Amino acid sequence: MAAFVPSPFRFSFSFRTLTSIGVKRTSRSKYRFERLKRKCSTSSMNLLTLNKRGLVENIFPDQRIPDLQKMLQTPQTLYCGFDPTADSLHIGNLLSLMVLLHGQRAGHNPIVVLGGATVLIGDPSGKTKERPLLEADDVEKNIIALMENVQRVTDNHSKFIYKGSKPLIDFRYLNNADWYKNINMVSFLSSFGRYFRVGEMITKHSVKSRLNSKEGITCTEFMYQIFQAYDWYHLFQKYNCTIQVGGNDQTGNISAGFDLIDKITKKHVFGLLIPLLLAPGGEKLGKSSGNSLWLDPKKSSPFEFYQYFFNLPDTEVEKYLKIFTFLPLTEIESIMEKQNRSPEQRVAQKKLAEQMTLLVHGESGIDSALRCTEVLFGDAIPALTAMSYTELQQLFRSAPSTEIIYDPEITVYDLCHRIKCFTKTEDIERIIKSGGVYINQQRITEPNHVLRDGQHILPNHITLVRVGKKNFYVVRWHLR
């Protein structure tokens, strides 16, 4: 299939999915933010207090924070955007959603914009080379997948986590392809291109770093900041959107939108800049780094999601509790006191894993994660009995799965032979007798031991075979 390319004179999109989707921080600006934040009202609508949680790292422009403080005394509209470059969001993207959820709790109006148009241009921020051009079908599939991710998180938040008495304002979901599809390109550049100065555009960190690289930067990527700026202008005009949320690596794009709105309307808007999420080793978490923890359960199962946070180092867990949960800071302090007294009990990690899995995967995700944990580290048989075949396949992604018609006389030896546990037939009996084979996590040492329905074949018609410590095989039985 040919790559999807816009017409040279008119942006033409045919998505059916939705009808509506760096400047470096100085120590002086950080000091100004901290000083003014301490003067802020304690009103529940004041998002500047998110700095105490480490969730908002900076404000753009930092010279006008008092104006933002006053603005936040009344309901505002804030947004963040996600280009559908993959079929799932990851936990780095979740930080922006956390700010929108805090805004929703405070009575503000949250908007999520999916970049059905801008994904075809490609944001150069944080990239060393141009993104591959996506097919139109892939963009559409990614938009559907990202919408599911976001709606699942917002639904879980309102259903399982939010305990306030006031009803939450609904999220608005938009696709920027909807407002570009009928825009004439010459008219667009004539109307809005005149507000951008090339001298200013090339000073943006995302552009400057690429200009100095071997790869360079394409004209398409160079223009990206104009389109993201127009997105904000469009949202400001239609929804009075005064706040954009984005990572520190988006400062250049956010400042472009600020400048455009300021030049055309003379109105003040603001950017809330969130920290970039780093792995415990210090590298950036994300698609490009290849270390993503995905929000889609098909890419990172609820068990993998839970275990990631449960195994977080002690040095990171307090920070993650603050930025990824809605627990009061006083409660987090209490949790950390218990953690510091008995770090081996991993009280903080367990609370973090539970809250994160509940937010992203809901109660069913928590149940699945705990069942999987029991299979591997606890009382396996009850946990295995409660699991579905799909859950087992997710838990043991690399394990072979085999479907077998049940024979009431089948032995452990026969099963190992049928599912090809061993490359050499002569190894089967020897390893079984030496205690190297487990049925449903129970050691079996007799090769001729007959497998019984209800004992070795669980009520859900599943058997888990393990050879050694890490070689698993999932068997699904068809009973006659």
pLDDT in the model for residue 291: 63
**What 3-state class would DSSP assign to 337?**
helix
Residues 205-226: what's their mean pLDDT?
Answer: 83
365 contacts 302 by C-beta, under 8 angstroms: yes
State how far the Cα of 184 lies from the Cα of 108, in Å rounded to an integer.
Answer: 34
Helix runs in 131-216, H state only: 136-156, 177-180, 185-192, 198-201, 205-211
Residue 14 in this model has a pLDDT that exceeds 50: no
HSE (CB half, 13 Å, CA atoms) of 278?
A: 9
Alpha carbon 150 to chain centroid, angstroms: 9
Six token digits for residue 23: 């400047």
Q: What is the pLDDT of residue 83?
A: 95
Residue 19 clears pLDDT 60, i.e. is over it:
no
pLDDT of 16 over the 90 cut = no
Architecture of the domain delimited by 47-274: 3-Layer(aba) Sandwich (3.40)
Helix (H, G, I), strand (E, B) or coil at 463: strand
Superfamily (CATH H level) for 302-378: Tyrosyl-Transfer RNA Synthetase (1.10.240.10)
Confidence of residue 320 (pLDDT cuts 50, 70, 90): very high
State how far the Cα of 418 lies from the Cα of 266, in Å rounded to an integer: 74
Q: Sorting pLDDT into bands at 50, 70 and 90, what band is 36? A: very low
Give the count of beta carbons closer than 10 Å to the beta carbon of residue 288.
Answer: 13
**pLDDT computed for residue 40 by the predictor:** 40
Q: What is the total residue count of the chain?
A: 480
For residue range 43-88, list pLDDT tens digits in order: 457 799 999 999 999 999 999 999 999 999 999 999 999 999 999 9
Q: Say what the pLDDT of residue 283 is.
A: 66
**Mean pLDDT score, 119-140:** 83
Give the pLDDT confidence score for residue 199 in this predicted structure: 82
> With contact defined as beta carbons under 8 Å apart, do 90 and 285 qualify?
yes
Lowest pLDDT segment from 18-22, 165-169, 390-394, 401-405: 18-22
Say what the pLDDT of residue 220 is: 85
Q: Which pLDDT value is given to residue 44?
A: 52
How far apart CA 36 and CA 70 sit, in angstroms, is: 12
- With CA atoms as reference, report the closest residue to 282 among 291, 273, 294: 291
Across the chain, mean pLDDT equals 87
Instruction: Write down the pLDDT at residue 34.
Output: 52
Strand order of the β-sheet with 109-114 is: 58-60, 270-274, 241-247, 77-82, 109-114, 172-175
Of 480, 478, 425, 412, which is closest to residue 451 (Cα–Cα)? 412
Q: Which of 359, 249, 295 has its CA nearest to residue 146?
A: 295
Given a cut of 80, is residue 108 above it in pLDDT? yes
Give the pLDDT confidence of 279-312 residue by residue, as tens digits: 766 666 665 555 689 999 999 999 999 999 999 9
pLDDT band of residue 37 (cuts 50, 70, 90) is: very low
27-64 burial, b at 16+ Cβ within 10 Å, e below that, comes to: eebeebbeebbeebeeeebbbbbbbebebbbbbbbbeb
Region 110-136: what's the mean pLDDT? 86
Radius of gyration of the CA atoms of the chain, in A: 27
Query: What per-residue confidence (pLDDT) applies to 287?
Result: 56
Q: What angle do CA 47, 51, 54 make, to 5 degrees?
A: 130
For residue 126, pLDDT over 90 is answered with no
- Please report the pLDDT score of residue 290 as a whole number: 57
The mean per-residue pLDDT over the stretch 108-118 comes to: 97
- C-alpha to C-alpha distances, 81 to 38, 250, 262, 333, 369, nearest whole angstrom: 29, 11, 20, 33, 30
β-pairing, 241-247 vs 270-274, is parallel
At the top level of CATH, the class of 398-478 is alpha beta
pLDDT given at position 20: 36
Classify residue 54 as left (phi > 0), alpha (psi -120 to 50) or beta. left
Which whole-number Å values give the CA distances from 235 to 79, 184, 229, 230, 456, in the listed order?
Answer: 9, 19, 10, 8, 60
Answer yes or no: are the C-beta atoms of 461 and 479 closer than 8 Å.
yes
* pLDDT for res 203: 84
Q: What is the pTM of this model?
A: 0.81
Stretch 367-389: mean pLDDT = 86
CA distance 55 to 80: 14
- The C-alpha atoms of residue 226 and residue 253 are separated, in whole angstroms, by 8
Q: Residue 40 and residue 284: Cα distance in Å, rounded?
A: 32
Ranking 127-131, 321-325, 366-370 by mean pLDDT, the lowest is 127-131
| pLDDT at residue 227 tops 50 | yes
Q: Identify the pLDDT of residue 246.
A: 95
Q: What pLDDT was estimated at residue 75?
A: 96
Angstrom distance (rounded) from CA 426 to CA 324:
53
How confident is residue 396, by pLDDT bands cut at 50, 70 and 90? Answer: confident
- Which residues lie across from 462 on neighbouring strands? 476
Beta bridge partners of 332: none
**Cβ proximity of 93 and 176 under 8 Å:** no
Q: Are 4 and 135 in contact (CB under 8 A)?
A: yes
**Tell me, what's the pLDDT at 204?**
80
Domain boundaries, the chain: 47-274, 302-378, 398-478
